[in-house]
Structure 1
């Protein structure tokens, strides 16, 4: 595998960590189903429909389906589940992975082995090589000289775009050719240059197995305490963030992630994680509160008489103190949003000890009726893929934690809540990852009614 430009981290040279998507992530749902059947796995119409209903395309599979999700797609057939996992593994082998690793001094010089691999007709990188434009949202950040390279998702894109541009000329670039590409990048955007080293790569926060193990021991120790050191926990979680996100991206089960990083099993830990994934969000809880307060009255008005919860909301409002009414209306608006977007609340929030109907993030109320849900105290459990993630004391905190899980575990939105979650993402928390992709008509129509 070819080396790429080095970065200086803690006084050592490192290869930048990067995974370039292969063919899998570009497949639509129908193309994915075709590939699966071409591979030799017989898919029934019912199974194919489950793929369509849950919008399982190549990108979704590439992000990583859990065992529960695969079992749902191929019900009552262990053989198909195993063969599907084999198919995914085989497809992922076509992706290019550059692993984060230390580089010995003797390997710092440009490698010439790649020339022996490529054939005589391979094109070489031209002297006038130019960096192509980045995705619209990222390009705007670069043009405004924002430190977007400190955001892991943006950093990966910043690295990936030059790689893919170089690959247009040669599949076997030499180290000097890749350095040439990144030099061009740094010349165009000087603020991306490393503070130390040769500067030919976006900043990467480096950790190794020993340092990660030390951080984890501190976190486990703090978790056992009645009153953990909040600042210490925050710092150690931030230092292990990039490592943790890679483990999640590599398919670490939810249960194992929570055992290794127990503070992710707390609402504040999930909000902090979303803040590191999307640095522009700031205080997630505050974003929710402020965003919902602006539309609460209209959401409640649009759902008047259209949900059995509406009368319970009116009853709770009569019993509430005047000072509590704004918060009560905010909680009601959050619960009523799925009805506004013609979606089902009972696939998002459930009552009692019943098992969630889907493996997606779900808020399970510990009460057996809906009335207490509008009060300040509504104890609940947030679940994902059958595992208990965290507990919270009110529905507002539970739903925020559930929303954060989609980003923490890189999950695609399920069809049954997609419009509601898109609205929360773009208009309440103000995360706009797919700026170029138009909103569904249902969302656009309702947004025009809310604002």
Structure 2
């Protein structure tokens, strides 16, 4: 008998308690890896003589810092965090160091592309990389990805094709064309007339290709689609016209004119890796074929193809 119990039962209880104690002896979490301890160390410092925390502890400490800043888990490393934090602060300034902006945007492009490829929320991408709201940086990102200057190509497209688009019979009675004709009568300056015609040609592109114009631009109305689209107000009023790029129904960038707006629209699909809707595919495919210096798309209707042929510019089409 052991403590009033049969020997066999007492022995089994002793063995069971010992085994239970030994089992949990080696799985206790080290106190230095505890998140509360790490937060206190970060706040009050670490006493001399304590051994350096493990790599896992360092990772947890960094995770806490990221969580405190409300940044997603895509940020890896102090250098990346410093670059992104600098970009966010620089964006708030009126006088910006554009050379440094370019360098830091280059340094963060891999993590930015990973976020976009992983379909991170657009608001998170723009919060961490607010300079993507600037047309210049949007075009620069496009050029890094494609090695093409989308703005320069867009200028060439509108300058070459504007008159041809406006001369097509299928846009003769279009509301955009009628609005253009009414406003042309109020001006005689050549540069203003050219600007108005380029704006009209830009807005008429979906109608030329039989696409859904609401997926291309919302003219004097509210944006209703989630894919990249232009918001255009008073397009032919030289004093009050407004252009803006919208993605997921939120304004991404304000744009100066129709050329910048069209270039930003093309760039947005590439930079944010957004599939082109079928109902606007032919319009964007036509633009991309010219931006990337490809041949004219074979699907062009015969009437449109004849109207858009520019023999003196064989490299464009």
CA, structure 1 residues 353+329, in 2 after alignment: closer, same or farther (shift >3 Å)?
closer
Preserved CA contact (<8 Å) 2:286 2:297? no
**Structure 1 position 254 matched with structure 2 position 139:** no
The aligned counterpart of 2:167 is 301
Question: Could you tell me which of 153, 156, 160 is aligned with 1:290?
Answer: 156
Q: TM-score, normalised by structure 2?
A: 0.67
Deviation at 1:235, TM superposition (A): 1.7
Which residue of structure 2 aligns with residue 449 of structure 1? 307
Partner residue, 1:391: 254
Point out where structure 2 has 5 or more consecutive residues left out of the alignment. Answer: 1-74, 310-317
TM-score where L is the length of structure 1 = 0.48
Residue in structure 1 matching 2:78, options 197, 203, 210: 210
Alpha-carbon distance change, 304 to 384 in structure 1, aligned in 2, over 3 angstroms = closer
- Measure the CA separation in 2 of the matches of 1:398 and 1:431: 20
Q: Distance in 1 between matches of 2:107 and 2:144?
A: 11
Give the 3-state SS of the residue equivalent to 1:274 in structure 2: helix
Q: Which residue of 1 aligns with 2:52?
A: none
Task: Provide the aligned length of Structure 1 versus Structure 2.
Answer: 232
**Structure of larger gyration radius:** 2
Q: In structure 1, what is the equivalent of residue 144 of structure 2? A: 276
Of structures 1 and 2, the one scoring higher in RCO (CA 8 A, sep 6+) is 1
Measure the CA separation in 2 of the matches of 1:260 and 1:352.
Answer: 31
Alpha-carbon distance in 1 for matches of 2:98, 2:267: 20
Matched position secondary structure for 1:319: coil
Q: What residue in structure 1 maps to residue 236 of structure 2?
A: 374
For 2:199, the equivalent position in structure 1 comes to 331
Q: Secondary structure at the match of 1:407?
A: helix
SS of match in other structure, 1:324: helix
8 Å Cα contact 1:348/1:362 also seen in 2: yes
Distance in 1, matches of 2:213 and 2:95, equals 36
Structure 2: how far apart are the matches of 1:218 and 1:234?
12
Change (3 A) 1:309 1:352: closer
Root-mean-square deviation (CA), in Å? 2.4
Gaps of 5+ in 1: 1-206
Deviations 1:43-74 (CA, angstroms, capped at 9, x unpaired): xxxxxxxxxxxxxxxxxxxxxxxxxxxxxxxx
Return the alpha-carbon distance in structure 2 between the equivalents of residues 333 and 258 of structure 1: 31
